[in-house]
Amino acid sequence: MRYSQYFLITTKETPAEAETVSHQLMLRAGMIRKVATGIYNYLPLGLRSIRKMEQIVREEMDRSGAIELHMPMVVPGELWRESGRWEKYGKELLRFKDRKDAEFCLGPTHEEVVTDIIRNLVRSYRQLPLNVYQIQTKFRDEIRPRFGLMRGREFIMKDAYSFDMDDTGANLAYQKMYDAYCRIFERCGLKFRAVEADSGAIGGSSSHEFMVLAESGEDAIVSCDSCHYAANVEKAELLFREVGTPQPSEELRKVATPDQRTIEEVAAFLNIPPARLVKTLVVRTDAGEVLAVLLRGDRELNEIKLCHVLNCNAVEMAPEEVVREVTGAPPGFAGPVGLKVKILADNEVRGLADFVTGANEEGFHLMGVNNGRDFSVAQWGDLRIASAGDPCPRCEGGHLEMWRGIEVGHVFKLGTKYSAALKATVLDENGESVTPIMGCYGIGIGRTVAAAIEQNHDENGIVWPMALAPFQVLVTAINPNQENIRTAAEQLYADLQAAGIEVLYDDRDERPGSKFKDADLIGIPLRITVGDRGLKNGEVELLERRGGVKTMLPVAGAASRVAEMVREALR
Ligand code: ATP
Ligand code: MG
């Protein structure tokens, strides 16, 4: 591609709307352009990287035995009513009516549609197992679309769905997808982790998220420093080691703590570490039940774990009037002693004695509080968020490290949630009707490209991994009006193309400085610069964008040498 004839317009200014590096760089490099919040044009350069990602995904899906099809973006509401998600999915689902007043939605995911295909076409166990996938535009009316392609409302996803006769088959399908995902992200050249995840509202029993490690990631993940355990913090289990309740040694006593409400304030006021306090959170479930949760003062509540323990869908901090009603005091002074609501406590509190809690009276706390003697706990559980240094739940001696990550892929064991709801059945060898077991597997195409930039950039621009680079090689003619330079550059351009390399040829009549700035910004991995000085010695300059290593190559062998480097990088 000749730059002078290409549609590539870069900008110097960092757009104010963009908070993350990948978003800024994609806008500045002319890869994408916003149309509306969370909705983007893919400009030619951006589209090339998107297509590369799609191609890697397609090849690995095909290799794993999955079969490509394409489902519509517009989905009848009727199908979503059958699964029960029309009501449950909430506002992310964009619903509308056609001219005949029939209900539709824009598909945010396609379990219903694919299950409808299978129930209508697949009759016999001989037609299974099956794993079908598509690469398609999804729509989710996200509350906070942001970071460009990272969290859009309209975005491209690869979604695959497996159907099996039994658990063994379903587990095998899951493992194949897990392995394919590892190959995909390895081929992309990304540093990633597969982490255990919460299966959330979609249902199902087991799931892994594929996380690209990046400081700007929205997800917190933990991994063990000595074994393979890794999990989303939402899910990370904590070991409960039976410690036995320690004996109380202090008397229960009330102390004045005027205006000291937060853990930090009370700890500082009483001159004790926050870990000597036990905090009492008054929470309310989606079913309206109000209860108290105890945690060590320096710990945070994991609401997802609490929901699992309580078997509810959501919990929230109780509003002030409810706190006043159950504790008799304003927020900041709640404590378990004398409390009328059910008390749940994190396992860790079992090992504490003589701690400090609120006194359920404004301006007072209790010291020397002891579980068992002064109050009782209705239910114990793993309720807190893991933190760095916690012991690994899987191995002896390992400790958890914390990372930030970007979720680029997700594999789920779904079970029969959708096949049962939509009454999809298949006859087994004995003529018995069986509900197939499903799995679903997503990869965010645009999000992965953005994540690749988050992980691969410097102060001057993008540093593409070869596999996702929009072009593999950039040939820059320092002064294309000069005969010998133009001839040599054109020849290189032709030779590289003949060798099957994707080349952007910067033939623009621009100052070298501004060409180099653009080159840094768009981040093409290998750069050949053709200039007078080199040509005098029959050489051109090769620059590797990553690391900035420069070497002089003889003009004659340059194209084949560089083509070989591209192939090596893709192996
Ligand atoms: P998140 O928690 O980030 O909202 P999710 O759990 O809703 O993601 P899935 O439903 O598992 O995501 O979708 C599969 C994949 O699609 C995700 O792993 C992610 O890569 C991508 N994806 C999901 N939502 C978006 C979005 N709003 N913009 C871009 N990609 C997305
Ligand atoms: Mg989401």
| CA nearest to 155, candidates 469, 464, 443 | 443
Separation of alpha carbons 469 and 465, rounded Å: 6
For residue 100, the number of C-alpha atoms closer than 13 Å in the C-beta half-sphere is: 3
Q: Which two tokens stand for residue 38?
A: 């969370």
Question: Which ligand is in closest contact with the Cα of 194?
Answer: 1
Distance 43 CA to ligand 1 centre (A): 22
Q: Which residue has the tokens 């739940």?
A: 393
Residue nearest to atom 25 of ligand 1 (CA): 151
Mean pLDDT rounded to a whole number for the chain: 95
User: Which of the ligands is closest to the CA of residue 53?
Assistant: 1
For atom 30 of ligand 1, the residue with the nearest CA is 444
Cα 213 to the center of its chain, rounded Å: 10
Cα separation, 315 vs 495, whole angstroms: 64
What's the confidence (pLDDT) of residue 199?
A: 65
Mean pLDDT, range 415-431, rounded to an integer: 97
Q: d(Cα 411, Cα 262) in Å, to the nearest integer?
A: 40
3-state DSSP percent of the chain in helix, strand and coil, to 5: 35, 30, 35
Q: Report CA(208)–ligand 1 centroid distance (Å).
A: 13
Q: Tokens 């890869």 — which residue?
A: 31
Strand, coil or helix: 422? coil
Q: Is the dihedral of CA 345, 348, 352, 358 positive or negative?
A: negative
Confidence (pLDDT) at 235: 87
Spatial separation of the C-alpha atoms in residues 295 and 301, rounded to whole Å: 7
Fill in the DSSP letter of residue 570: H
Which residue type, as a one-letter code, is found at position 251?
A: E
CA distance 32 to 30: 6
Q: Which residue has the tokens 């006769």?
A: 165
Q: Do strands 206-213 and 192-196 pair parallel, antiparallel, or not at all (unpaired)?
A: antiparallel
Instruction: Work out which ligand 1 atom sits closest to the CA atom of 153.
Output: 27
Q: Whose CA is nearest to atom 27 of ligand 1?
A: 151
Q: Using 50, 70 and 90 to split pLDDT, how confident is the model at 205?
A: low
| pLDDT > 90 in the chain, percent | 92
- Tally of CB atoms within 10 A around 252: 15
In this predicted model, what pLDDT tens digit does every residue of 39-86 receive, in sequence order?
A: 999 999 999 999 999 999 999 999 999 999 999 999 999 999 999 999
pLDDT at 203 over 70: no
Look at residue 512 in the predicted model and tell me its pLDDT. Answer: 96
Q: What does the H/E/C string look like for 130-160?
A: EEEEEEEEEECCCCCCECHHHECCEEEEEEE
- 208 in contact with ligand 1, CB cutoff 6 A: no
User: 155 CB under 6 A from ligand 1?
Assistant: yes
Q: Find out whether 49 and 33 touch, Cβ atoms under 8 Å.
A: no
User: Would you say 313 and 284 are in contact if contact means Cβ atoms under 8 Å apart?
Assistant: no
Q: Give, rounded to a whole angstrom, the gap between the first and last alpha carbons of the chain.
A: 24
- Cβ of 408 below 6 Å from ligand 1: yes
Instruction: For ligand 1, say whether the CB of 282 is within 6 Å of any of its atoms.
Output: no
pLDDT of residue 318 exceeding 70:
yes
CB distance 181 to 210 below 8 Å: yes
Q: Could you read off the pLDDT of 477-507 as tens digits, one per residue?
A: 999 999 999 999 999 999 999 999 999 999 9
Q: Is the pLDDT of residue 244 over 80?
A: no
- For 377-394, the DSSP string reads -SEEE--B---TTPBPSS
Strand partners, 32: 42
pLDDT at 294 over 70: yes
Query: How far is Cα 450 from Cα 23, in angstroms, rounded to an integer?
Result: 7
CA–CA dist 343, 148 (Å, integer): 44
Residues 35-74: b if buried by 16+ CB within 10 A, e if exposed: eeebebebbebbebbbebbbebbbebbeebebeeeebeee
Q: CB within 8 A of 330, min separation 6: which ones?
A: 320, 323, 324, 362
Phi, psi torsion values for 538, nearest 5 degrees: 70, 30
Does residue 447's CB lie within 6 angstroms of at least one atom of ligand 1?
Answer: yes
DSSP string computed for 199-238? -GGG--SEEEEEEEE-TT-SEEEEEESSSS-EEETTT---
Ligand 2 geometric centre to CA of 290 (Å): 28
Report, as an integer, the average pLDDT of 386-397: 92
For the residues 200-205, what does the mean pLDDT come to? 49
What residue owns the CA closest to ligand 1's atom 19?
A: 444
What is the chain's length?
A: 571
Beta-strand relationship, 539-544 and 278-285: unpaired
In whole angstroms, what is the distance from residue 147 CA to residue 422 CA?
36
Nearest one of 246, 267, 273 to 358, comparing CA atoms: 267
Q: Which of 109, 157, 208, 445 to probe ligand 1 with, by most ligand atoms within 8 A of CB?
A: 157
Per DSSP, 2 falls in state B
Residue 202 is predicted with a pLDDT of 46
Containing H/E element for 356? Answer: strand 355-358
- Whether 403 has a pLDDT exceeding 80, the answer reads yes
The closest-lying atom of ligand 1 relative to the alpha carbon of residue 202 is: 10
Ligand 1 within 6 A of CB of 151? yes
Strands 67-68 and 130-139: parallel
Supply the DSSP string of 296-343, one letter for each residue: ETT--B-HHHHHHHHT-S-EEEPPHHHHHHHHSS-TT---STT--S-E
Q: Provide the percentage of residues in the chain whose pLDDT is more than 70.
A: 99
pLDDT tens digits, one per residue of 101-124? 999 999 999 999 999 999 999 999
Handedness of CA 189, 191, 196, 200 (dihedral sign): negative
Cα distances from 490 to residues 405, 494, 497, in angstroms, run 43, 6, 11
Q: Once rounded to an integer, what is the mean pLDDT over residues 503-512?
A: 97
Mean pLDDT across 190-196: 94
Res 245: pLDDT: 76
Ligand 1 close to Cβ of residue 158 (< 6 A): no
